Amino acid sequence: MAGCVARRALAVGSRWWSRSLTGARGPRPLCAAGGAGAFPPAATTATRRHLSSRNRPEGKVLETVGVFEVPKQNGKYETGQLFLHSVFGYRGVVLFPWQARLYDRDVASTAPEKAENPAGHGSKEVKGKTHTYYQVLIDARDCPHISQRSQTEAVTFLANHDDSRALYAIPGLDYVSHEDILPYTSTDQVPIQHELFERFLLYDQTKAPPFVARETLRAWQEKNHPWLELSDVHRETTENIRVTVIPFYMGMREAQNSHVYWWRYCIRLENLDSDVVQLRERHWRIFSLSGTLETVRGRGVVGREPVLSKEQPAFQYSSHVSLQASSGHMWGTFRFERPDGSHFDVRIPPFSLESNKDEKTPPSGLHW
């Protein structure tokens, strides 16, 4: 019915979102209570099933966060855009975009052209296409509620000092794909709680979005570009489990009269089906240009064996690898278990470990 206002409460993981919908295209006030959780993109339409607010956790009071906007099908979001993460449900703000090359082996599997890769671990020739990702800040209030599904200190770097093994992390930074963003607006001048929000962004009510980059943000991006830059994304689906890998070159260190090259890699596991599965084992193969081939097996990932279900379909984590050569490859499998005890292997798409051609000085620290 045109003009009808319907009050809806949506249970999504551990977060409760509530919206007041005016028609199919009208304004959509967004409310929140509790911690973050998955927010399915399909739930943004006005035609979805009504869920009773009587299921809302006791003692939780819904507070207005902002008003939903229509997601962009084309173009990109600007610095200062507020959003909800469509998979992990946290509130965030866009700092700046990256143009990445997406190598989707699901798409390549239908192509007739094939070629062996140098490491000999596959036969598909995958052509990359340009895809937009964003560097974002995560609202600190949501970090405790997504910590079991996604690391909130996934962005790491090598500091420029004598300790060659020191890794430093910045809390509340993430890389977000364009389709992960559910944009919204807010009248709050500080809508995101993060120690870098007011350092990086300035409120300007004449702009849209009303948060513009300070010179501090531009200087930070330029100075730390070598270890922040996202360039390649690799994706493959096996039995409805999609694995996405984003590798980052972190720099080179000298150790015992040799060079050691470091990379970090971010991995997202997504269950595209309704069946519950649990990650049990990982099996990695790491090929170095020096001619070595290393095999790594172990239980779970980062000390966890995450369950992927319809309610909590995704898990994201980061790890690191070092080689005594300037390049290499990684690939492997994750072993999952079904409720009946059976197992199946999910392929990790092969990805290159490439060092930057022009060596740059690693970050000296978080001082601007």
Q: How far apart are CA 289 and CA 324, in angstroms?
A: 8
Residues of the chain with pLDDT > 90, as a percent, come to 57
Q: Number of helices (H) and strands (E), helices first, in the chain?
A: 5, 22
Closest among 65, 331, 271 to 185, alpha carbons compared: 65
Task: State yes or no: pLDDT of 10 exceeds 60.
Answer: no
When pLDDT is averaged across residues 165-187 and rounded to a whole number, the result is: 87
Name the least confident of 99-113, 139-153, 323-337: 99-113
Residue 9 resides in a domain: no
When pLDDT is averaged across residues 310-335 and rounded to a whole number, the result is: 94
Reported as a single tens digit per residue, the pLDDT across 199-251 is 999 999 999 999 999 999 999 998 888 778 888 999 999 999 999 999 999 88
- Identify the pLDDT of residue 128: 86
Domain that holds residue 148: 66-108+128-230
Residue 330 and residue 286 in contact, taking contact as beta carbons nearer than 8 Å: yes
Residue 2 resides in a domain: no
Residue 314 resides in a domain: no
Q: pTM score > 0.85 for this model?
A: no
Residue 169 resides in a domain: yes
Closest among 350, 271, 265 to 315, alpha carbons compared: 271
To the nearest 5 percent, what fractions of the chain are helix, strand and coil? 10, 50, 40
More confident residue, 5 or 347: 347
Residue 302 resides in a domain: no
Name the least confident of 69-78, 303-312, 359-368: 359-368
In the chain, how many domains are there?
1
Residue 157 resides in a domain: yes
